[in-house]
Homo-oligomer: A and B are copies of this chain.
Amino acid sequence: MGRRSKEINSIAIAKLVGVSRSTVSKVINNYPNISEETRARVTKVVADYGYFPNLSARILAGKRTETLGFFHFAHGHFSEDFLVSSMISGFVEHAASFGYHILSYIVREPETEKTKRMVREVFHQQRIDGGIILGARNHEPLVEELISEGFALGIFDQNLPGKEEPNRIVVNLDDERAASGALRYLYDLGHRKIGILNGDTRRSAGAAKQAGFLAAAEEKGIEIRPEWFLYTDFSEASGYSSMCKFLSSGMPLPTAFAAANDTVAFGAMKAFAEKGLQIPEDVSIVGIDDHPMARYQRPALTTYRYDFLAVMRRLIELIVKRIEDPDSVDSSRREVFSPVFIERDSCKKVDAVS
């Protein structure tokens, strides 16, 4: 009928071998002070009967769950899912190499009581040993609450420069460098009239990218005109609608745009296409991420590549270390990864007339 019969337990194994459950347990857990002969006999019976110690009983007796929660804060839109979900495979495999299991969650409305409860429950139930947070805003109350409750958290993309943020492991990509690099690249191609498709500045990445755009503009002595500074929330839809609105405003067009991420650039490119504007003939555009789709755009999008996989690997490594030996990792660890420039076909050289 598909119902499972009972599994064999440690008492049965002990009886079979003719030792105590303590001894079985010690063999299973590879403890010292067991004679080779006993160890061998227990091991054999365990293998013969296909015995697997019950996980819940082990956890209840004080063992770790060896499970990590992966919380993807998605804030209602699906824009990043494609990118994020394409990271999951590598993520799961890397965790597995440490012997850890991955429980995945999508967090759509972190401010909702229902969502908060769901997430907190996962931790408080002791379903996981620690969590990985992706896409949360800076100082997301839910995240701060979990940290204050003492849970082990690894966060991707969160930091407010100058602010102390204790008791968390944070791994970031160098957003400021990517953004300023993108702007400088356009400048070096001769562009002086440059527009920005800015991101969500409530998120660390958004704030850092804005800082990068502005710093490079200032460095090169070019002014970003307010009407060329467009706002998005990092989603393709917002990139599209922002650009549509701008294009139908009748304002003069800059010769190039730097976008806060590739997804936003995709949206803008769609808007350009609908208005009959050719890229890069009529307008250049550069993104950030090297989204899997970037090279399939027409034209292929020039961008900064973020090695998300490497970053996530590192985050897992650090969180596992922290879980297994809390003192081995600073209570407030921070690491930054650098992006790599990928030149493709979406930008052209232009006469540098200011």
Q: Which B residues touch A101, using CB under 8 A?
A: 103, 105, 122, 127
Q: Are A4 and B150 in contact (CB under 8 A)?
A: yes
B54 and A125 contacting across the interface, CB-CB below 8 Å: yes
Instruction: Give the CA-CA distance A59 to B125 in the complex, in Å.
Output: 11
Establish whether residues B93 and A2, one from each chain, have CB atoms under 8 Å apart when the complex forms: no
B125 close to A52 (CB less than 8 A)? yes
With beta carbons under 8 angstroms apart, the residue of B50, B53, B54, B124 that contacts A7 is B124
> Would you call A103 and B102 a contact (CB within 8 A)?
yes
Select which of B55, B60, B120, B124 is within 8 A of A127 by beta carbon.
B55
A18 near B: Cβ within 8 Å? no
CA distance A52 to B1 in the complex (A): 33
Contacts known (A1-B327, A85-B89, A104-B88); A52 close to B167, Cβ less than 8 A: no
Query: Cβ of A96 < 8 Å from any Cβ of B?
Result: yes
Tell me whether A331 is interfacial, beta carbon within 8 Å. Answer: yes
A12 sits at the interface (CB 8 A): no
User: With the chains together, A227 CA to B340 CA distance in Å?
Assistant: 44
Contact B126 A322 (CB under 8 A): no
The residue that A326 contacts in the complex, of B3, B52, B126, with Cβ under 8 A, is B3
Shortest distance from the beta carbon of A302 to any chain B beta carbon, whole Å? 16
A342 contacts across to B, CB distance below 8 A: none
A3-B326, A4-B150, A92-B104 known; A57+B55 contact, CB < 8 A = no
> Which stretch in A206-214, A277-285, A289-297 binds the other chain?
A289-297
Residues of A271-324 at the interface with B, using a CB-CB cut-off of 8 Å, are 292-293, 296-298, 322
Chain B CB within 8 A of A341 CB:
no
> Is A20 an interface position by the 8 A CB rule?
no
Q: Does A86 contact B (CB under 8 A)?
A: yes
What residue in chain B is nearest A60 (Cβ atoms)? B56
Is A335 at the interface (CB under 8 A from chain B)?
A: no
Q: A88-B104, A126-B7 are in contact. Are A2 and B57 (CB under 8 A)?
A: no
**Docked-complex contact B52 and A3, CB < 8 angstroms:** no
Contacts of A84 in B (CB 8 A): 89
- Specify which chain B residues have a CB less than 8 angstroms from the CB of A292 in the assembled complex: 82, 293
Q: Is A231 an interface residue (CB 8 A)?
A: no
Q: Does A92 lie within 8 Å of B105, measured CB to CB?
A: yes
Q: Which of A89-103 contact B (CB under 8 A)?
A: 89, 92-93, 96, 101-103
Assess the A150–B2 pair: CB atoms within 8 A. yes
Task: Verify if A152 is at the interface (C-beta below 8 Å from B).
Answer: yes
Cα-based distance from A280 to B122 in the complex (angstroms): 52
A3 pairs with B150, CB closer than 8 A: yes
Contact string, A5-16, partner B, CB cutoff 8 A, digits 1/0? 101000000000
Q: Provide 14 A-B residue pairs closer than 8 Å at the C-beta atoms, listed in order of the A residue.
A: A2-B152, A2-B331, A54-B126, A55-B127, A82-B292, A85-B87, A86-B86, A92-B106, A93-B106, A96-B118, A101-B103, A296-B296, A296-B297, A298-B298
